[in-house]
Amino acid sequence: EPISDQAQAYYDMGEILSDLGRCGEAMEAYQQVRAADQTGTSAVVGGAEWRSDELRFRGPTGSRLGTGC
């Protein structure tokens, strides 16, 4: 399944920003994945949506809700 190089780049940027603890910027990068992927149905779009939700709905590090960002 072909994916946009730009969509993959936004996903990778989101991963890096998340690792750095820059949650807001990571979520913005994950949201850009859908805009960059013309089909909106690739695995990278699904992965970005999952990671964005994970950051959005998990609590801060050390909370009982999850690891957060």
Q: Tell me what the mean pLDDT of segment 31-38 comes to.
A: 90
Instruction: For residues 47 and 65, give the distance between their C-alpha atoms in angstroms, rounded to a whole number.
Output: 21
Q: What is the spatial distance between Cα 14 and Cα 53, in angstroms, rounded to a whole number? A: 12
Residue range 8-23, pLDDT digits in tens: 999 999 999 998 989 8
pLDDT band at 68 (very low <50, low <70, confident <90, very high): low
**pLDDT greater at residue 42 or residue 69:** 42
**Paired tokens of 62:** 């050390």
What does pTM read for this prediction? 0.79
